[in-house]
Structure 1
Amino acid sequence: MQSFRLDDFIAGWIGGASSVVVGHPLDTVKTRLQAGKGYKNMFHCVLTIYRKETAMGFFKGMSFPLASITVYNSVVFGIFSNTQRLISKYRYGDGRRPCSLLDLTVASMLTGLASVGLGAPVDLVKIRLQMQTQTLLTENLHLAGHTNMTVHSVSLPSSRLYRGPVHCISSVLQAEGVSGLYRGAGAMVLRDVPGYALYFIPYTLICDFLTPDPNATPHPCSIWLAGGIAGSISWVTATPADVVKSRMQADAQLQRKYRGILHCILHSYRTEGAQVFFRGASVNAVRGFPMSATMFLTYEMSLQFFRSL
């Protein structure tokens, strides 16, 4: 049996596309809660977006994730599955042998590390587009001659920095260089290395628990449930690092506020308290279930189809 298989990448691409459509509306809410201002809670954020931007506001910036996150998920699932087989072949001499818990952990963490190279620019562009209609705070503006203004915020609905994904990428490259596309990558490593371990391991364990026969193929309902639970666990535990990542990537639209990861953490804590690092956790829990359930189910079904040909 070959250690490297291309069908894992193709199935991951299909699963990624389905998960973007399901998860993007709540992803927009999560980003606004984490990097924006003026929202009391998840429901207030949802109502505010709907009232000011209609239902289309929830799908803002979706074209780029649909085109790019599909590729990203293809890489993630392809790397994870092929890494498992390589580890089994190296350790046991048989790539078909099921991985141990340690093997799964290593494969998951390596996948998380590798995913940042592609995922950081994708997330940055997505977040910049999602934040375009966010009310801009005066603390982020240079208002010459108005240093004593008592106004706390100013809405600039027509001030669109980016016309679309391509324009966003070119603008970031011109203003900040290639390193600008990887702003927040360090926080993404802190999120994804442990995050993918808490994504793939619970999924595997729950699937195994729901499928006692090791030779049987997991039932679609088992895949759906295991994927949903794994997604909620992973996203909730990753929320603190995700908050830091979102803030750093949304930063620098007008004036850079954070000098680095540590400064972002300290500044956020001093100004908003420890609860800021759990902002969007409820959205992540709700969003993580259907998005990951769809992702895993579509991935596994696609993989079964390709391997039956």
Structure 2
Amino acid sequence: MSFPVLTTGLANSIVFGSYSNALDYLSQSDCNLPSHCKQASSVQVFAAGCFSGIVQVLVCAPIDLVKVRLQGQTTGERYRGPIHCVAVILREEGLRGLYRGGVALALRDVPCYGLYFLPYEVTRKALTETGKAPGTFAILMAGGVAGVVTWACATPMDVVKARLQMSGAGGRQYSGVLHCIGVSLKEEGGRVFFKGLLLNSVRAFPVNAITFLTYESLLKILCPPGK
């Protein structure tokens, strides 16, 4: 538990920071006056979300790998902790080993972070009266909807990613994303790609509702309007 808890803040800061900066750049790129371009289009929101997914994968793929390896081992004999896990991976698989499953992670996160922010912006706007700032209820509902929509789309590739990441820790060996998909589909059927979807969705609503509320609250404190 300690490793995910300590790294969640880092991952979220990377995602929200890169998204905010990308959206700010995209929404002003076609304008002479930035003040006229505060309302971003759906395409811009999706593109900024995809960009945040790219940045997140580049930085957090090793973190995600270590988390999966630690959670997947049934005993403490192989990895004694996060640092030992990294050391073992580097010794046995080299630097590339830290990015095992990185392609599957990118296929999951890049489009899904686009979908993560898009339903949030749409839902928040729908629940907010014209000309008024979004309230707590609108932000919580929009964040929860965004989390559920994202996991509904991300779960199939999340299953593939986890299997690829565990293949270097005594799990079944796969030659790549397509091989993993083919073998899993052949042996377990299409339902295998939706394992954990219900649990992920139940967890995603409150977690992402609070995440977005915290994000919006911090923006008001750290970046008040007019500054």
Q: TM-score range by the shorter chain?
A: over 0.9
Corresponding position: 1:226 with 2:167 = no
SS in 1 for 2:169: coil
Structure 2 residue aligned with 1:132, among 69, 73, 88?
73
Q: Which residue of 2 aligns with 1:64?
A: 3
Give the partner amino acid of 1:107.
A
Corresponding position: 1:305 with 2:199 = no
How many residues align? The count is 223
Residue deviations 1:94-142 (CA, integer Å, cap 9, x gap): 4452111111121111111221111211111111111122xxxxxxxxx
Q: Which residue of 2 aligns with 1:74?
A: 13
Corresponding position: 1:280 with 2:219 = no
The alpha carbon displacement at 1:184 in A equals 0.8
TM (norm. structure 1) is 0.69
- State how far apart, in whole Å, the 2-side matches of 1:185 and 1:95 are: 37
Structure 1 runs, 4 residues or longer, greater than 2 Å off: 93-96
Residue deviations 1:250-302 (CA, integer Å, cap 9, x gap): 22212551111111111111111111011111111111111111110111111
Q: Which residue of 2 aligns with 1:143?
A: none
Q: Which runs of 5+ in 2 are unaligned?
A: none
- State how far apart, in whole Å, the 1-side matches of 2:172 and 2:99 are: 15
Give the partner amino acid of 2:49.
S
Q: Which residue of 1 aligns with 2:64?
A: 123
The alpha carbon displacement at 1:73 in A equals 0.9
Corresponding position: 1:209 with 2:126 = yes
Structure 2 residue aligned with 1:112, among 53, 62, 70?
53
Corresponding position: 1:182 with 2:102 = no
Corresponding position: 1:248 with 2:164 = yes
Q: Which residue of 2 aligns with 1:56?
A: none
Q: Which runs of 5+ in 1 are unaligned?
A: 1-61, 134-156
Across the aligned residues of Structure 1 and Structure 2, the Cα RMSD in angstroms comes to 1.5
Give the partner amino acid of 2:173.
K
- State how far apart, in whole Å, the 1-side matches of 2:112 and 2:34 are: 25
The alpha carbon displacement at 1:246 in A equals 1.0
Structure 1 residues 115 and 93: alpha-carbon distance in aligned structure 2, compared to 1, 3 A threshold: farther
Q: Which residue of 1 aligns with 2:176?
A: 260
Which of structures 1 and 2 has the larger relative contact order (alpha carbons within 8 angstroms, sep 6+)? Answer: 1
TM (norm. structure 2) is 0.93
Structure 1 residues 95 and 175: alpha-carbon distance in aligned structure 2, compared to 1, 3 A threshold: farther
Contact map agreement 1:187 1:261 (CA 8 A) in 2: yes
- Greater per-residue helix proportion: 2
Give the partner amino acid of 1:238.
A
Identity, in percent, stands at 44
Contact map agreement 1:89 1:95 (CA 8 A) in 2: yes
Q: Which residue of 1 aligns with 2:89?
A: 172
- State how far apart, in whole Å, the 2-side matches of 1:255 and 1:247 are: 8
- State how far apart, in whole Å, the 2-side matches of 1:94 and 1:122 are: 40
Structure 1 residues 255 and 243: alpha-carbon distance in aligned structure 2, compared to 1, 3 A threshold: closer
Contact map agreement 1:191 1:238 (CA 8 A) in 2: yes
Give the partner amino acid of 1:66.
V
Structure 1 residues 218 and 255: alpha-carbon distance in aligned structure 2, compared to 1, 3 A threshold: closer
Residue deviations 1:60-101 (CA, integer Å, cap 9, x gap): xx2112222211110110010111111122112344521111
